[in-house]
């Protein structure tokens, strides 16, 4: 398979994985096969074959892995296994225990210790799909976002994002929200905290006119996009590896635009260990 075709297929299958994860998190139930296939723009007949070829597992195996990862986190709170089984959409605790053991190799009871949980999470959250799907070259149209500049330590970013959300809510724009982004003008590891620049950003469907305290910015669509799972503090270390290994291996170099992050989960609703973020490095091909 040509590299460009692989990247397109990976992006489409990744869209179905995102739908699967979101539906499981919200309802505990599996989405319909037709809906997963539609998210990937494949016919249902071909979808499961392409899915297995790219991820190394079936849709059901991915679902069980995600369910088990969520259960591992909940076990830390000494939650009842019966309650967990119901929340994860299983008919009985026994069915849940069987699924959990198949995904992890241990029983739910054995997974209650902190050491066991951390070890299990590393494998469950990655899975066989991650090595191939977590990094790809994305080529989409540039898009506009509304930004609010934050200068200072990253610990104050939450307040900046809150102010931006409050403006969007007060302007009745939340139903048009398409994405939550952060634009990293500086690396906080190399820049004094008091001068570190970072833009909180929101994307919307349709035109938006921001007030003077906010700005409009166009984000590039051609990026090396890499999925990061875990705390936001780990984004910059992951960025180092992308610069060092992934860009040269693909014949790419950073473009003239700053790196940006797309935040895919709400940290108030999703545990820090399983927060999903995409690192987006604007790129251009290396001149021969």
Q: In the 3-class helix/strand/coil scheme, how is 92-113 assigned residue by residue?
A: CHHHHHHHHHHHHCCCCCHHHC
Higher-confidence position of 32 and 25? 32
Identical fold for domains 3-130 and 136-285, yes or no, is: no
Is 67's pLDDT higher than 60?
A: yes
Least confident of 17-26, 155-164, 188-197: 17-26
Is 185's pLDDT higher than 90?
A: yes
- CATH of segment(s) 136-285: 3.20.80.10
When pLDDT is cut at 50, 70 and 90, the band that residue 250 belongs to is confident
Torsion of CA 79, 80, 85, 87, to 10 degrees: -50
Least confident of 3-17, 117-131, 181-195: 117-131
Closest listed residue to residue 22, CA positions, set 274, 223, 273:
274
Q: What integer pLDDT is reported at residue 131 of this predicted model?
A: 46
Higher-confidence position of 61 and 158? 158
d(CA 22, CA 123): 20
Task: Express each pLDDT in 88-125 by its tens digit.
Answer: 777 788 888 887 777 777 777 777 665 555 556 555 65
- Concatenated DSSP letters for 15-75? HHHHHHHHHHHHHSSPPPHHHHHHHHT--HHHHHHHHHHHHSS-HHHHHHHHHHHHHHHHH
State phi, psi for 178 to the nearest 5 degrees: -115, -15
Domains in the chain: boundaries: 3-130, 136-285
Q: Is the dihedral of CA 121, 122, 127, 133 positive or negative?
A: positive
- Concatenated DSSP letters for 201-252? EEEESS-----TTSEEEEEPSEEEEEEEES-GGGHHHHHHHIIIIIHHHTTE
Q: What integer pLDDT is reported at residue 224 of this predicted model?
A: 92
- Residue 260's DSSP bridge partners are 183, 280
d(CA 63, CA 100): 11
Higher-confidence position of 87 and 219? 219
Determine the topology of domain 3-130 in CATH.
Arc Repressor Mutant, subunit A (1.10.10)
Least confident of 59-68, 131-140, 184-193, 235-244: 131-140
d(CA 206, CA 177): 10
Helix, strand, or coil (residue 172): coil
Q: Which residue has the tokens 């995409």?
A: 278
Q: What integer pLDDT is reported at residue 243 of this predicted model?
A: 85
State phi, psi for 80 to the nearest 5 degrees: -65, 135
Least confident of 119-123, 156-160, 211-215, 228-232: 119-123
């Amino acid at each position: 398979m040509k590299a460009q075709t692989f990247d397109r297929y990976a992006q489409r299958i990744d869209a179905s994985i995102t739908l699967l994860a979101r539906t499981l998190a919200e309802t505990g139930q599996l989405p319909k096969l037709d809906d997963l296939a539609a998210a990937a723009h494949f016919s249902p007949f071909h979808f499961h074959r392409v899915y297995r070829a790219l991820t190394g597992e079936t849709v059901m195996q991915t679902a069980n892995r995600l369910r088990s990862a969520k259960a591992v986190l909940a076990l830390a709170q000494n939650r009842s296994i019966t309650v967990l089984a119901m929340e994860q959409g299983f008919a009985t605790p026994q069915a849940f225990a069987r699924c959990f053991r198949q995904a992890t190799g241990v029983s739910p009871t054995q997974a209650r210790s902190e050491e066991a949980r951390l070890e299990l999470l590393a494998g469950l959250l990655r899975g066989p799909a991650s090595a191939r799907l977590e990094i790809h070259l994305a080529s989409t149209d540039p898009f506009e976002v509304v930004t609010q500049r934050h200068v200072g330590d990253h610990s104050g970013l939450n307040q900046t994002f809150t102010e931006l959300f409050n403006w969007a809510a007060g302007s009745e724009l939340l139903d048009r929200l398409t994405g939550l982004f952060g634009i990293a003008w500086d690396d906080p590891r190399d820049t004094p905290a008091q001068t570190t620049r970072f833009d909180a950003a929101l994307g919307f469907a349709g035109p938006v006119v921001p007030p003077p305290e906010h700005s409009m910015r166009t984000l590039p669509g051609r990026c090396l996009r890499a999925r990061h799972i875990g705390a936001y503090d780990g984004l910059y270390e992951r960025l180092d590896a992308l610069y060092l290994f992934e860009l040269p291996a693909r014949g790419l170099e950073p473009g003239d635009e700053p790196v940006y992050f797309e935040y895919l989960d709400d940290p108030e609703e999703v545990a820090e260990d399983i927060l999903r973020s995409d690192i987006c490095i604007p790129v251009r091909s290396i001149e021969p």
